[in-house]
């Protein structure tokens, strides 16, 4: 199986974010805290363009491994509760 190149992956992410912008709210809503907003997405796009130290994990199975909730591959994550054990 061949994997796409890193530039191709970044291009796909940027394209997805640009496509999402018209669907997002301009600000967080109190009843939906943590949802992506236009400013958050624009900031993410700016950071991706700067090509920070995000990288794909060597083993794709590690993405869903128990206890691996913080890693170099995460670009956007959402906390569903205050207790990390129940997320």
pLDDT tens readout for residues 43-60: 888 877 666 666 778 888
Question: Which residues of the chain fall below pLDDT 50?
Answer: none
Statement: the pTM of the whole predicted model exceeds 0.75: no
Long-range contacts of 52-56 (CB under 8 A, 24+ apart): 55/6, 56/3, 56/6, 56/9
């Amino acid at each position: 199986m061949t994997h796409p190149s890193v530039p191709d992956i970044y291009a796909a992410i940027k394209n997805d974010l640009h496509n999402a912008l018209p669907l997002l709210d301009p600000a967080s809503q109190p009843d939906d805290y943590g949802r992506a907003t236009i400013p958050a997405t624009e900031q993410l796009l700016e950071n991706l363009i700067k090509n920070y130290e995000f990288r794909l994990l060597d083993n794709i199975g590690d993405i869903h491994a128990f206890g691996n909730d913080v890693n170099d591959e995460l670009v956007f994550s959402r906390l569903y509760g205050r207790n990390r054990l129940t997320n």
